[in-house]
């Protein structure tokens, strides 16, 4: 009973983090800031939800669900990578930063015509 309650509270916390990421996705002014919100807090939220599901099935059924563990590891690895690729393609296609941004570390490299780090 206690384990089920803890797991469902964990799921609720994860859902709240997902809602925060969606809020940031709507409210923030820029592609890069939006992808920051979408990547970080959505990853944390979905990891909380999947961890809650893992704990739930462990407590209720008594089985350790390796599929859920694999999903947790996979999302934890691929979600920041996808966000980074999206931000890089946005920068490469010339989408301007928000006018309130104070620093752009990549711009001098691009102006000098150097290769962007991480570019193949």
The binding site for another protein (CB under 8 A) comprises 4-5, 7-9, 11-12, 14-16, 18-19, 21-23, 25-26, 31, 34-35, 38, 42-43, 45-46, 49-50, 52-53, 56-57, 60-61, 63, 65, 67-68, 70-71, 74-75, 78-79, 81-83, 85-90, 92-96
The DSSP result for 32-82, as a single string, is: HHHHHHHHHHHHHHHHHHHHHHHHHHHHHT----HHHHHHHHHHHHHHHHH
Cα distance between residue 38 and residue 71, in whole Å: 18
Closest distance between another protein and the C-beta of residue 31, in Å? 5
CB of 72 to another protein, least distance (A): 10
Residue with Cβ nearer another protein (35 or 105): 35
Asked if residue 68 lies in contact with residue 54, where contact means CB atoms within 8 angstroms, the answer is yes
């Amino acid at each position: 009973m206690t384990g089920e309650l803890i797991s469902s509270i964990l799921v609720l916390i994860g859902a709240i983090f997902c809602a925060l990421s969606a809020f940031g996705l709507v409210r923030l002014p820029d592609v890069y800031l939006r992808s920051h919100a979408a990547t970080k807090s959505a990853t944390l939220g979905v990891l909380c939800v999947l961890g809650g599901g893992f704990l739930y099935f462990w407590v209720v059924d008594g089985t350790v669900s390796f599929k859920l563990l694999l999903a947790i590891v996979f999302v934890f690895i691929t979600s920041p990578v996808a966000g980074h690729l999206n931000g890089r393609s946005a920068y490469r296609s010339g989408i301007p930063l928000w006018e309130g941004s104070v620093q752009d570390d990549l711009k001098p490299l691009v102006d000098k015509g150097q290769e962007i780090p991480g570019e193949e």
